[in-house]
Structure 1
Amino acid sequence: MVSLKYPPKPRPGDRVAVVSPSAGLPALFPHVYELGLRRLREEFGLEPVEYPTTRVLGADPRDRARDLTAAFADPTITAVLATVGGDDLITVTPHLDDDVLRANPKPYFGYSDNTNVLNHLYRLGIVAYHGGSVLVHLGRPGSPHPLTFASLRAALFTTDWYELTPAHEWGDRPNPWTEPETLAHEPEMLPGAGWRWQGPQREVLGRTWGGNLEILHWLLATDRVPTAAELDGSVLLVETSQEMPGAQEVFRIVRNMGERGLLAAFPAIVVGRPKAWDRAKPLSVPERQAWGDAQREAITRALAPYNPDAVVVFDVDLGHTDPQLIIPYGGEIRVDAVARRISVRY
């Protein structure tokens, strides 16, 4: 197993980096971005520090890597938050200065395409944090979601165990960023039905690895993932994006992880609630429920030949749906199938 260490945590009043290593969407949606920055200051007492490419759309990957490296190198910066995801961070991580990152470990918060950075830091031995986008979560329309903000606050400032809570209501149909007036209104929410458990009744304690399933597939293709031996005993995290890969594609990605020998390494698997609505695929509520059922069946079917005895928990709020629970990446997690509880150590 990879030797991982938690980086020091920020304190209220500290300066934190706000970077766009994936997509410079603050340039297109400054009203959402500014709301996120204001909440970072007012709700968390942190002072955001921007970098040259934070508000630049289409910045060169080398420039984005230079900004991210600079954020780690700056001794006055105590945490690094990504503004949003994207689709080309896989071209940025090769340009990072790994010696600087190793010498200056800091909590990094991001999800989706930021799986590239989370995995990169994991391989350098640095615990990071899956979640906490400045645009998506800090800039949530209406008001901050209590579960998201409680989780983010604990992840930013504490080092203790934290029990995750199933959402009583959830959503995957966000307000359009192209219409600034919608920031005043709460997004559509649906009733929550709790987590779905399957597999043996046992408790699993391990370190997390994984992230967005589509990005993991890219990382597998570029051979940038840890070995099965390095991951042995870990807990796999997976979630799918707003691109909404179909059940068959999800099956094939998970199956291919099995063929690589990875699935057998995980005694437990925590699966994010699938996002099942997008403006390109505006599914009805019944269709969204069927979409989730099909994805759960696909993952179950893919696991069967490779790790039928894994503890599996579905519909955990850790991905592209609202709210979002922050999960330490490479940090400790306890998945208790007897008590049906999940806790993480921040």
Structure 2
Amino acid sequence: MTTPSCPAKPRPGDRVAVLSPSSGLPGILPLPFELGLRRLREEYGLEPVEYPSTRKMGSSPQERAADIHAAFADPAIKAVISSIGGDDQITVLPYLDRELLRANPKPFFGYSDCTNLLVFLGNLGIVGYHGGSVMVELGRPGAMHPLTADSLRAALFTHDARELTPAKETGSVNDRWEDPRTFDREPAMLPADDWIWHNAGRVVQGASWGGNLEILSWLLMADREILPAAAYAGRVLFLETSEEMPGADAVYQILRNMGERGLLKQFPALLMARAKNWSFGSPLGAEAGEEYRVLQRQSVLRALAEYAPGTMAVLDVDLGHTDPQLIIPYGGQVRVDGVARRIVVTY
């Protein structure tokens, strides 16, 4: 696998595509979407451009692929940003034109189900950006979290090396997006523990690969876009889990199966996200939520001990389904310095 190259970045005043490659939730939950669009304009100076399926629930994979093609092929569009995730983007991949996308590289921002497109673009040699959806991060009630806003700004506009810093507070509890009162105040936050370092004591630098653990497991099951294990040798793995809140056993089993495939041992370093530990379907209290995180950490370390005992790991990194959220370059360089306890990404 060749290391992907970073496409040109937008500048304030540029047009950016806002797509729904997964779910068309902007059509039924417009409040966070409109707020996110407004912040793109007012706080980042970008002009969002919507496409036919951006607000369409139940759009076909072909329709979504057509929007992706139109956004990447348009020279006036300088970046592509997902509205939100979903659960069926894998069905879009067969309809994507590899040559069109390779010939028209653009920065793509998304996470969760958008792991599909990030993996696809990475295989074409295009660096993407894990994070920064319109409805969740840009549409956060009350205000964007400063850590999220600064990370997104750096990823959008620069190619700089940037040190990631642990959040001092974290939140997982959400209010209903259907209720306008939700957007009158910021979400409740709790103090955040520092990152946890495992097998530290050396420095690892390499191109990143990974994303949402559940989506990666689907790609593995479908034998879609996953290269032979040796292609990932020396890369920095990063993983996160979603609001579906998979149990510790499920997390271990996915990692175990990646280990059986020979994948885990290829990565000398792993960044594991601070797990989202509350959802409307599983509204855990503070104590139960912390126990959920503890059990997930244990499952990750168990899998590493069995399949990649030499891998350095940093647990509870603020990436993925976290608030605040740090943007991770997908295929870009990541330096994990276990001696100095520092993580530096290059956007």
The TM-score, its normalising length taken from structure 2, stands at 0.99
Q: Which residue of 2 aligns with 1:307?
A: 308
Q: Which residue of 1 aligns with 2:283?
A: 282
CA offsets 1:19-74 (integer angstroms, 9 cap, x no match): 00100000011111110000000110000000000000010110001001110000
> Amino acid of the residue matched to residue 249 of structure 1?
A
Report deviation, 1:2.
2.5
Q: Which residue of 2 aligns with 1:212?
A: 212
> 2:239 & 2:232 partners in 1: Cα distance?
15
1:93 aligns with 2:93: yes
1:122 aligned counterpart, secondary structure: helix
Q: Which residue of 2 aligns with 1:11?
A: 11
Q: Which residue of 1 aligns with 2:72?
A: 72
1:267 aligns with 2:268: yes
Report deviation, 1:153.
0.2
- Aligned CA RMSD, in angstroms, stands at 0.7
> Amino acid of the residue matched to residue 194 of structure 2?
G
> 2:14 & 2:276 partners in 1: Cα distance?
34
Q: Which residue of 1 aligns with 2:341?
A: 340
C-alpha contact 1:4 1:125 (8 A) present in aligned 2: yes
Q: Which residue of 1 aligns with 2:293?
A: 292
Identity %: 60
CA offsets 1:196-246 (integer angstroms, 9 cap, x no match): 111131111001000000000001111121222211100111000000000
Q: Which residue of 2 aligns with 1:241?
A: 242
CA offsets 1:95-124 (integer angstroms, 9 cap, x no match): 111111000000000000000000000111
C-alpha contact 2:170 2:191 (8 A) present in aligned 1: yes
> 1:169 & 1:251 partners in 2: Cα distance?
27
2:167 aligned counterpart, secondary structure: coil
Report deviation, 1:179.
1.2
> Amino acid of the residue matched to residue 332 of structure 1?
Q
Gaps in structure 1 of 5+ consecutive residues: none
CA offsets 1:165-201 (integer angstroms, 9 cap, x no match): 1000010112211212111111010101110111131
> 1:321 & 1:7 partners in 2: Cα distance?
26
User: Hey, which bits of structure 1, 4+ residues long, moved more than 6 A?
Assistant: none
> Amino acid of the residue matched to residue 252 of structure 1?
Q
C-alpha contact 2:31 2:178 (8 A) present in aligned 1: no
> Amino acid of the residue matched to residue 30 of structure 1?
P
C-alpha contact 2:7 2:126 (8 A) present in aligned 1: yes
Q: Which residue of 2 aligns with 1:181?
A: 181
1:304 aligned counterpart, secondary structure: helix
1:305 aligned counterpart, secondary structure: helix
Q: Which residue of 2 aligns with 1:2?
A: 2
C-alpha contact 1:9 1:107 (8 A) present in aligned 2: yes
> Amino acid of the residue matched to residue 47 of structure 2?
E
Q: Which residue of 2 aligns with 1:104?
A: 104
Aligned ranges 1:141-160 → 2 under 5 Å: 141-160=141-160
Q: Which residue of 2 aligns with 1:37?
A: 37
C-alpha contact 2:3 2:331 (8 A) present in aligned 1: no
C-alpha contact 2:9 2:79 (8 A) present in aligned 1: yes
Q: Which residue of 2 aligns with 1:318?
A: 319
> 2:209 & 2:3 partners in 1: Cα distance?
13
CA offsets 1:236-266 (integer angstroms, 9 cap, x no match): 1100000000000000000000000000100
> 2:174 & 2:46 partners in 1: Cα distance?
26
Q: Which residue of 1 aligns with 2:20?
A: 20
> 1:343 & 1:110 partners in 2: Cα distance?
20
> Amino acid of the residue matched to residue 233 of structure 1?
G
C-alpha contact 1:141 1:175 (8 A) present in aligned 2: no
> 2:14 & 2:295 partners in 1: Cα distance?
45
> 2:154 & 2:200 partners in 1: Cα distance?
30
Number of residue equivalences: 346
Q: Which moved more, 1:45-54 or 1:220-229?
A: 220-229
1:282 aligned counterpart, secondary structure: coil
> 1:276 & 1:32 partners in 2: Cα distance?
21
> 2:120 & 2:258 partners in 1: Cα distance?
18
C-alpha contact 2:115 2:211 (8 A) present in aligned 1: yes
CA offsets 1:130-152 (integer angstroms, 9 cap, x no match): 00000000000011100001000
Gaps in structure 2 of 5+ consecutive residues: none
The TM-score, its normalising length taken from structure 1, stands at 0.99
1:221 aligned counterpart, secondary structure: helix
C-alpha contact 1:172 1:276 (8 A) present in aligned 2: yes
